[in-house]
């Protein structure tokens, strides 16, 4: 039975369980919380800012290929599994959100430069909504943890130079504005969080 408009179907709840199982052994960097907490937060932001069920499911799975392919028979096998379970549209959004699928990953800076180029070249509001929800939740987490840990925070990342992280998040704000596909409320909120983080880091 199809649920009334605005409600989620069993397909979403299946995806929630699927994502939790995929990432069951994964923790958030530096804080040790189950990774599913991040995926649920991203899906929540997507739903709160106009996204439908496909986008919410893609939000739950946006890191699947990047983080879990090696445990699921490789990227091609995991892509096929996601497409079979949730369809081509969900897989397309997940693919757009994936900035690396090989192990080891390419160098950090080149991956982020490629992601920024892809962001401005892909006129898909669904992808932009999921992507900015992901980046906003990450930026909020960094800001909150920076207030507690200060510069020691950066040691949890593969690249520990705060200037590089500030460059990337400012680039995200500018790219989302240039593309004009993400909800303006989320662009403005990302800008606010990044501006506050910049001021705190540069004020130390």
What domains lie within the chain, and their CATH numbers? Answer: 10-202 (1.10.3210.10)
Cα separation values, 176 from 2, 42, 117, 118, 170, Å: 34, 17, 11, 11, 10
Query: Residue 109 contacts by C-beta under 8 Å, 6 or more apart in sequence?
Result: 159, 164
Distance in angstroms (rounded) separating the CA atoms of residues 2 and 18: 21
Concatenating the DSSP letter of every residue in the chain gives: -PPPTTS--HHHHHHHHHHHHHTTT-B-TTT--BTHHHHHHHHHHHHHTT--HHHHHHHHHTTHHHHHGGGTT-HHHHHHHHHHHH-HHHHHHHHHH-S--SSSPPPHHHHHHHHHHHHHH---HHHHHHHHHHHHHHHHHHHHHHHHHGGGGGGGSSS--HHHHHHHHHHHHHHHHHH--S-HHHHHHHHHHHHHHHHHHHT-
The pLDDT of residue 30 is: 78
> Which pLDDT score is estimated for 146?
96
Does the model's pTM come out above 0.85? Answer: yes
Residue 4 confidence (pLDDT):
59
The angle that helices 125-149 and 184-202 make with each other, rounded to 10 degrees, is: 30
Which residues of the chain have a pLDDT value below 50? 1-2
Contact partners, residue 193, CB within 8 Å, separation at least 6: 136, 139, 140, 143
pLDDT of residue 103: 73
């Amino acid at each position: 039975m199809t649920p009334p408009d605005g409600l989620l179907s069993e397909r979403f709840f299946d995806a929630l369980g699927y994502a939790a199982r995929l990432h069951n052994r994964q923790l958030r960097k530096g804080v040790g919380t189950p990774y599913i907490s991040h995926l649920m937060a991203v899906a929540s932001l997507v739903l709160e800012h106009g996204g439908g069920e496909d986008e919410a499911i893609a939000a739950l799975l946006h890191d699947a290929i990047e983080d879990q392919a090696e445990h699921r028979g490789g990227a091609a096998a995991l892509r096929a599994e996601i497409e079979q379970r949730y369809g081509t549209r969900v897989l397309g959004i997940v693919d757009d959100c994936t900035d690396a699928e090989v192990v080891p990953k390419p160098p950090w800076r080149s991956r982020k430069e490629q992601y920024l180029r892809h962001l401005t070249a892909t006129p898909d509001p669904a992808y932009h909504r999921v992507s900015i929800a992901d980046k906003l939740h990450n930026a909020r987490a960094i800001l909150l943890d920076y207030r507690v840990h200060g510069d020691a925070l950066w040691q949890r990342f593969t690249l520990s130079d705060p200037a590089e992280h500030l460059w990337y998040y400012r680039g995200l704000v500018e790219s989302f504005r240039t593309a004009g596909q993400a909800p303006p409320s989320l662009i403005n909120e990302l800008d606010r969080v990044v501006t506050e983080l910049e001021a705190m880091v540069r004020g130390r």
